[in-house]
Each structure stands twice: as structure tokens, then as C-alpha cells.
């Protein structure tokens, strides 16, 4: 069987990208399922005597909670980048003791993260939701959902940690299986717990949150078992859980910029919720549905990005210009195919796609409008995702961070705020997102070309 080293140097680059990226894309699609499935089922909740348009308001509630869910992902995935890099280096040097300390300290970090989100869920969830909505029905459901997914967030936090430990050993298939098992569990439990089927009490949005955390715990149990009993590459001992400053420093030197980049998505969604809330409640609901549909397109692109980074980095270290250029070229081609498929689906069939969710007519129209406008920037977004990965692979995380800030903060939020003041704000505000992607893409091309001239010419 071809080992990882020969694969990096000998396998044709297009096949290598698909070979490494396929499991990552599927795993990330499984993650995208969680939020969109929750939104789908809660959108079909029936009105009560006290609350009309229940489905619309339930989707709105999940949208208000979404920035914190993204923040949980940000700290987990971002820290995981540092864990993965340090662990892979140690395993490559055959330094099992350091690898054990990195894996053990990673679990310590995850415990600290969990305690922070547990504290937030108990004491901060209500204030966070109240800053975005004054509707008592929406706020009540949002607080309930957010408290459950934060107080019981240990499943996803520890899963993301152990996932990166497993991935550092080169086994992405296990992580894909664990992720999909959790997603399937969530899909099965959502209608049962939300609507009260087969003897389960009707729990509404609390049921959606409970199904989510149970699914996450299923993923954790599977990957924890594989790590403890099937992962012989990393030593496990209680002493490795003791925090060591040098180990933590190495993790965060790489992981801190990645956390910040990931967290920008959380800041953007929170900012957009505030801006769109000043336009209408339906605009927030439409944005929530759009964003979760977008993830089905963007998650495979991020999986492709995650596959391209080690390929480019390895061949950069090996001094192989041709394979670097091929990885860049095919990465851009493949991501363009993914984005083209997304544009076709959401431009040609927006009505039936949005119609799958039980929304009010106003929210449905706004969501369709948002899809038609925002998808015009998908090609730029795809290029941004790949070009950011190239910058990281060539050792310049600052360029990648700059591109992310243009996409997520610097252009989109000020422009959205300005457009929200126009008479036709419910249509105009959506143009801020593709405009930000275009601006970031122009800058990304300039920065990447500069980086190539500095780094690749000397390879």
C-alpha cells in the first residue's frame, strides 16, 4: 500500500486532492446537517393559542443562537489546527512522549472550553439573546435552545479535539464515520423529540437542541473508543493531562490565529442578526435559512481546502514547484465546480428549496431574494477559501487572516448597515455579502501572487 510520503510525492495531484479531501468533505457535510435539519423540523412546528407563525419564530430563535454555536466550532476547530500541526510534527520525528503530552494537553484545553461554555449557558445565554430580540416568544425559544447546546456542549468540544488527534495520524475515515453517525442520530431524533412521536413528550425547540447534543455525544463516543482502543500512534496516560506551558504555547502559536479566523464567522452572524433585526424579523429568519443552506455548498469547499493545505505545505518543503502549482490549479478548478453546482441549485430551484421549510410568505420571499443575490458571489467565495489555504500552507497566516477579515467584517457589516437604512432595505442589504466576497477575492489574488513571487521562486 502507498504510504503517506509516497502519496504526497507520487500520486497525481487531482487524485490526491480527491483522495484526501473526500472524507473531509463528507465529514463537514455531516456537520452542516445538524443546523439545517434542526431548522427544517422546527419550521414545521404548529401554531399555539399563544403564538402564531410558530415555525417562522422557531427558525428565528435558532438563528439568534447560531453565533454561539459557530463560536464553539471556532475555538474547537481553531485549536485543533494547532493540535494537529504539533502532533503531526512529533509523530513525524518519532517523538511519542511529546505527542502524548500534546494529546493530553489538548484534552485539558477542551475541558477548559467546556467549563467556559457551561458557565455562559447558565449565566449569559439570556443576555446574549436579549441583545438581539425583544419578542418574548422568539427570545424564550432561543434561550432554551442556546442553554441546552452550551450546557451540554462537551460532546462537540471533546469530539473536535479527539478528531484532530486522530487526523494527525492520517486516518480521516474514522472521523467521517463518527461525524455521520452523529448526524444520522440527530436526523432520526429531531422529529421524535420536537413533535413528540412514539411516546416521547413534545419538546419543540428544546427537542431540537436535545437531538443535536445527543448526536454530538454519539460522535464523541465512537471517536473516543477509536482513540483509546484503536489508536496506537499516540500514548495515553493520566500524567499527560497535566498542563505544560511549553506544550500549550506550541498549540496556540499555530492555533490562536486559526481560532480568530474561525471566530470571524460568529462575529459576522451576530452582527448581521443585529442589522437585519432593524430591517424586520422576517429578514433575520431568511438569513438563518440562507446561511444554513449555504453551508451545504461551502462545507465541501472547506474540506477541499483542508486537503490542499498539507499537499501544498509538504511539496513546498520538498521543493517541488510543479506539484504546488498543480495543487493550486486543481484546487481552484474543483472548488469552482462545487460553487457552480451550488449556484445552479439555488438560482434555478430556490422556490422548492426554500419551500421545504414552513415559513411565512414574507420570510420565504426574502429568503429567495437573498439566495438569488448572494449566490452571485459564490465563485469569489470559493476562490477566497482556496487562496486562504494556500497562504496558510506557504507559512503566511497573516494574509489568510486579512482575507477573512475583509470577507467577514471590514466590508460586509458596514455595507450591510448602510444598505439597511435605504427604503428598499429588505432587498438591498443582501448585496453586502457578494460585494465583500468580490473585494476579498481581489485582495486574495494580489496577496497570493505576492507570496508566490517571494516563496515559490526560491523553491
Which whole-number Å values give the CA distances from 453 to 388, 444, 459, in the listed order? 16, 14, 10
Within a domain: 354: yes
Are both 101 and 162 inside the same structural domain? Answer: yes
Residues 6 or more apart in contact with residue 31 via CB below 8 angstroms: 73, 179, 183, 299
Final residue in a domain of this structure, among 232, 264, 296:
264
Cβ count within 10 A of residue 165? 24
Within a domain: 382: yes
Are both 140 and 244 inside the same structural domain? Answer: yes
Are both 83 and 170 inside the same structural domain? Answer: yes
Q: What pTM does this model have?
A: 0.87
Are both 9 and 94 inside the same structural domain? Answer: no
Distance CA 152, CA 72 (A): 12
Q: Give the per-residue pLDDT at 1.
A: 38
CA torsion, points 113, 115, 119, 122, in degrees to nearest 10? 110
Distance CA 340, CA 166 (A): 32
Cβ atoms 402, 447 nearer than 8 A? yes
Domain hosting 455: range is 1-20+279-459
Are both 158 and 294 inside the same structural domain? Answer: no
Are both 229 and 332 inside the same structural domain? Answer: no
Instruction: State the average pLDDT for the chain.
Output: 89
Are both 221 and 86 inside the same structural domain? Answer: yes
- Give the pLDDT band of residue 457 (cuts 50, 70, 90): low
Considering only CA atoms, which of 246, 222, 221, 224 is closest in space to residue 234?
Answer: 224
- Cell numbers given for 136: 418574548
Within a domain: 36: no
Residues making up the chain, counted from first to last: 459
Are both 118 and 3 inside the same structural domain? Answer: no
Cβ count within 10 A of residue 118? 16
When divided into structural domains, the chain yields a total of 2
Distance CA 368, CA 254 (A): 40
The H helix count followed by the E strand count for the chain is 19, 0
For the ranges 23-32, 135-144, 208-217, 228-237, the lowest mean pLDDT is seen at 23-32
Tens of pLDDT, residue by residue over 420-445, are 999 999 999 999 999 999 999 999 99
Distance CA 130, CA 185 (A): 31
Tens of pLDDT, residue by residue over 170-183, are 677 788 889 889 98
Of the two residues 395 and 5, the one the predictor is more confident about is 395
Count CA atoms closer than 13 A to 223's CA, side-chain side.
32
- Cell numbers given for 213: 447534543
Are both 432 and 365 inside the same structural domain? Answer: yes
- Give the pLDDT band of residue 2 (cuts 50, 70, 90): very low
For the ranges 88-102, 140-154, 211-225, the lowest mean pLDDT is seen at 88-102
Q: What is the mean pLDDT of residues 269-274?
A: 95
Q: Give the per-residue pLDDT at 85.
A: 74
Cβ atoms 310, 388 nearer than 8 A? no
Of the two residues 26 and 74, the one the predictor is more confident about is 74
Phi, psi values for residue 244, rounded to 5°: -125, 130
pLDDT higher than threshold 70 for residue 329: yes
Distance CA 366, CA 285 (A): 9
Within a domain: 367: yes
Are both 294 and 358 inside the same structural domain? Answer: yes
Within a domain: 375: yes
Are both 129 and 6 inside the same structural domain? Answer: no
Final residue in a domain of this structure, among 264, 296, 311:
264
Tens of pLDDT, residue by residue over 93-115, are 788 899 899 999 999 999 999 99
Within a domain: 289: yes
Cβ count within 10 A of residue 10? 11
- Cell numbers given for 316: 513546498
Cβ atoms 301, 17 nearer than 8 A? no
Within a domain: 379: yes
- Cα torsion 129, 63, 298, 422: sign: negative
Q: What letter would DSSP give residue 241? A: G
Final residue in a domain of this structure, among 219, 241, 264:
264
- The 10 Å CB-count burial string (b at 16+, else e) for 276-300 is bbebebbbbbbbbbbbbbbbbbbbb
Of the two residues 208 and 391, the one the predictor is more confident about is 208
Within a domain: 30: no
pLDDT higher than threshold 80 for residue 150: yes
Are both 246 and 286 inside the same structural domain? Answer: no
For the ranges 172-181, 192-201, 446-455, the lowest mean pLDDT is seen at 172-181
- The 10 Å CB-count burial string (b at 16+, else e) for 402-417 is bbbbbbbebbbbebbb
Amino acid at each position: 500500500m502507498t504510504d503517506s510520503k509516497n502519496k504526497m510525492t507520487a500520486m497525481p495531484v487531482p487524485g490526491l486532492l480527491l483522495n484526501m479531501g473526500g472524507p473531509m468533505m463528507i465529514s463537514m457535510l455531516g456537520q452542516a446537517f445538524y443546523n439545517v435539519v434542526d431548522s427544517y423540523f422546527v419550521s414545521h412546528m404548529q401554531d399555539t393559542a399563544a403564538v402564531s407563525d410558530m415555525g417562522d419564530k422557531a427558525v428565528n430563535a435558532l438563528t439568534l443562537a447560531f453565533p454561539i454555536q459557530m463560536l464553539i466550532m471556532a475555538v474547537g476547530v481553531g485549536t485543533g489546527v494547532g493540535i494537529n500541526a504539533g502532533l503531526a510534527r512529533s509523530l513525524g520525528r518519532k517523538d511519542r512522549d511529546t505527542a502524548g503530552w500534546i494529546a493530553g494537553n489538548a484534552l485539558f484545553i477542551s475541558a477548559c472550553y467546556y467549563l467556559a461554555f457551561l458557565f455562559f449557558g447558565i449565566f449569559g445565554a439570556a443576555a446574549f439573546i436579549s441583545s438581539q430580540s425583544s419578542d418574548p416568544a422568539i427570545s424564550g425559544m432561543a434561550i432554551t435552545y442556546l442553554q441546552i447546546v452550551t450546557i451540554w456542549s462537551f460532546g462537540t468540544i471533546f469530539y473536535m479535539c479527539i478528531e484532530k488527534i486522530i487526523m494527525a495520524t492520517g486516518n480521516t475515515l474514522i472521523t467521517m464515520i463518527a461525524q455521520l453517525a452523529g448526524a444520522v442520530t440527530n436526523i432520526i431524533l429531531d422529529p421524535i423529540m420536537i413533535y413528540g412521536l412514539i411516546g416521547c413528550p413534545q419538546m419543540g425547540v428544546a427537542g431540537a437542541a436535545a437531538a443535536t447534543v445527543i448526536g454530538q455525544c454519539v460522535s464523541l463516543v465512537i471517536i473516543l473508543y477509536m482513540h483509546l482502543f484503536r489508536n496506537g500512534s499516540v500514548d495515553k496516560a493520566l500524567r499527560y493531562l497535566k498542563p505544560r506551558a511549553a506544550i500549550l504555547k506550541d498549540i496556540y502559536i499555530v492555533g490562536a490565529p486559526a481560532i480568530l479566523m474561525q471566530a470571524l464567522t460568529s462575529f459576522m452572524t451576530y452582527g448581521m442578526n443585529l442589522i437585519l433585526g432593524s430591517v424586520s424579523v422576517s429578514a433575520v429568519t431568511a438569513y438563518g435559512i440562507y446561511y444554513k443552506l449555504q453551508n451545504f455548498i461551502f462545507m465541501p469547499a472547506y474540506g477541499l481546502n483542508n486537503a490542499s493545505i498539507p499537499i501544498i505545505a509538504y511539496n513546498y518543503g520538498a521543493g517541488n514547484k510543479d506539484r504546488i502549482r498543480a495543487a493550486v490549479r486543481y484546487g481552484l478548478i474543483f472548488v469552482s465546480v462545487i460553487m457552480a453546482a451550488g449556484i445552479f441549485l439555488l438560482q434555478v430551484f430556490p422556490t422548492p428549496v426554500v419551500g421545504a421549510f414552513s415559513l411565512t410568505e414574507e420570510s420565504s420571499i426574502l429568503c429567495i431574494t437573498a439566495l438569488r443575490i448572494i449566490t452571485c458571489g459564490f465563485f469569489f467565495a470559493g476562490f477566497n477559501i482556496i487562496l486562504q489555504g494556500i497562504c496558510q500552507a506557504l507559512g503566511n497566516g497573516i494574509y489568510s487572516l486579512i482575507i477573512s477579515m475583509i470577507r467577514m467584517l471590514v466590508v460586509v457589516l458596514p455595507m450591510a448597515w448602510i444598505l439597511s437604512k435605504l427604503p428598499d432595505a429588505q432587498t438591498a442589504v443582501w448585496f453586502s455579502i457578494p460585494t465583500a466576497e468580490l473585494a476579498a477575492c481581489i485582495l486574495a489574488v494580489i496577496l497570493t501572487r505576492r507570496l508566490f513571487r517571494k516563496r515559490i521562486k526560491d523553491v
